[in-house]
């Protein structure tokens, strides 16, 4: 059943209805086959872009939708409720565009942002390395200045849209000064020396391509560096605060779909002469699932409203990511349990929801890292 939402404006309410319409017509009919065949849904991203849904949190002057983050995240949740991999992709695209908006010069923003936000281009985010996931300051990928260019050499692991994207936001080391020696670059796909490894064979999100990106002396003009040398890690971390809210919204969308499926099944399936939802033991499980979904939604919306008000929200973003993804894991697991043996088969999407949710406790910073961020912020306060 549709989520009841309190949207801040009539325009934002219309955006939710537009998103639901696209989800019903374009996403839900296609998700099962795409997941089964590991088919990357590039056409879906173009559809979302042409509808104005890929650039919602960015200003209109750069081709965005000028919507507050609380609206953008609820759109992402609606998309993810229909197709988790696409919801993740929308969040990753917004994260990939963030560095240019946050640290780029006015000339850079006017030159590149409209194309990135208009729907024809799709972004990827290159931060993690095989040995440097939760510790990005340990990265080894290096960018060496050579005249008017930088030459980038190294590899980036776990790149969502790896090999499919049109541009890559890349963090690379420009000096040996630890976390202060990292810079940020906007690298176009097709640049000589840039290639993708074999896509990862994952547990879930089968239609979302994840691959290692290989930088073999990739030459990038210096004008494609975002911000000053050494500013790359602050750019990455600032983007991750917002990216964590995107994943919180995605996880909440998947959990909502799992809850809806479980409730429908519990109303239709009968044991001992009555629907199983009438049995208190199972009804209480459903009640806990509903409480988990709604608390996750409230938590990410609180963090988003702080961001929209220009207040610090880093701790709240980590809390939202932690709560929403842990809750989603529990809700999707319970959905499989409610369906019983049927939940363990591919006849119902419950097993897919469960597989998709697991990685949400891992990417954009593991939930153990979120606890570290939260506790450190408490120590400083």
Q: Catalytic positions, please?
A: 364
Report d(CA 374, CA 318) in Å as an integer.
7
DSSP code for 3: P
Beta bridge partners of 220: 150
Residue listed under structure tokens 């639901």: 20
The CB density around residue 368, as the number of other CB atoms within 10 Å, is: 11
Largest Cα–Cα distance in the chain?
79
Q: Phi first, then psi: what are they for 144, rounded to 5°?
A: -110, 130
Q: Phi first, then psi: what are they for 376, rounded to 5°?
A: -65, -40
Q: Which of 84, 98, 77, 69 is nearest to 34 (CA)?
A: 84
Render 199-255 in DSSP notation, one character per residue. PP--SS-TTS-EEEEEEEEEEEEGGGEESSTT-HHHHHHHHHHHHHHHHHHHHHHHH
Reduce the DSSP state of residue 350 to 3 states and report it.
Answer: helix
Report d(CA 223, CA 149) in Å as an integer.
8
Reduce the DSSP state of residue 280 to 3 states and report it.
Answer: helix
The CB density around residue 342, as the number of other CB atoms within 10 Å, is: 14
Report d(CA 344, CA 350) in Å as an integer.
8
**Secondary element (H or E) of residue 270:** strand 270-271
Q: Which of 320, 315, 319, 326 is nearest to 379 (CA)?
A: 315
Beta bridge partners of 155: 214
Instruction: With beta carbons less than 8 A apart as the criterion, state whether 213 and 233 touch.
Output: no
């Amino acid at each position: 059943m549709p989520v009841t939402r309190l949207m801040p404006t009539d325009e934002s309410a219309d955006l939710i209805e537009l998103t639901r319409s696209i989800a019903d017509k374009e996403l839900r009919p296609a998700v099962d086959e795409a997941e089964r065949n590991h088919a990357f849904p590039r056409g879906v991203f173009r559809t979302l872009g042409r509808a104005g849904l890929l650039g919602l949190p960015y200003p209109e002057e750069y081709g965005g939708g000028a919507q507050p983050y609380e609206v953008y995240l609820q759109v992402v949740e609606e998309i993810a409720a229909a197709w988790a991999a696409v919801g993740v992709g929308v969040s990753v695209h917004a994260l990939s565009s963030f560095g240019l908006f946050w640290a780029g010069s006015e000339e850079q923003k006017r030159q590149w942002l409209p194309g990135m936000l208009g729907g024809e281009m799709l972004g990827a985010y290159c931060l993690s390395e095989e040995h440097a996931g939760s510790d990005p300051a340990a990265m080894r990928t290096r960018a060496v200045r050579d005249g008017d260019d930088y030459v980038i050499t190294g590899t980036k692991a776990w790149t969502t849209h790896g090999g499919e994207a049109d541009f890559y936001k890349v963090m690379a080391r420009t000096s040996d000064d630890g976390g202060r020696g990292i810079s940020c670059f906007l690298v176009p796909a097709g640049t000589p020396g840039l290639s993708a490894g074999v896509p990862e064979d994952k547990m879930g999100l089968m239609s979302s391509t994840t691959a290692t990106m290989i930088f073999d002396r990739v030459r990038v003009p210096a004008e494609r560096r975002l911000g000053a040398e050494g500013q790359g890690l602050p750019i990455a971390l600032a983007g991750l605060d917002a990216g964590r809210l995107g994943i919180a919204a995605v996880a909440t969308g998947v959990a909502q779909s799992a809850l809806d499926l479980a409730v429908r099944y519990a109303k239709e399936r009968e044991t001992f002469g009555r629907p199983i939802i009438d049995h208190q033991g199972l009804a209480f499980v459903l009640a806990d699932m509903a409480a988990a979904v709604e608390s996750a939604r409230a938590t990410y919306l609180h963090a988003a409203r702080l961001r929209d008000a220009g207040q610090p929200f880093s701790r709240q973003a980590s809390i939202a990511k932690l709560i929403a993804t842990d809750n989603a894991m529990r809700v999707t697991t319970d959905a499989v349990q409610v369906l019983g043996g049927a939940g363990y088969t591919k006849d119902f999407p419950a097993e897919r929801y469960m597989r998709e949710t697991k990685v949400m406790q891992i990417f954009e910073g593991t939930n153990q890292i979120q606890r570290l961020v939260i506790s450190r912020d408490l120590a400083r306060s």
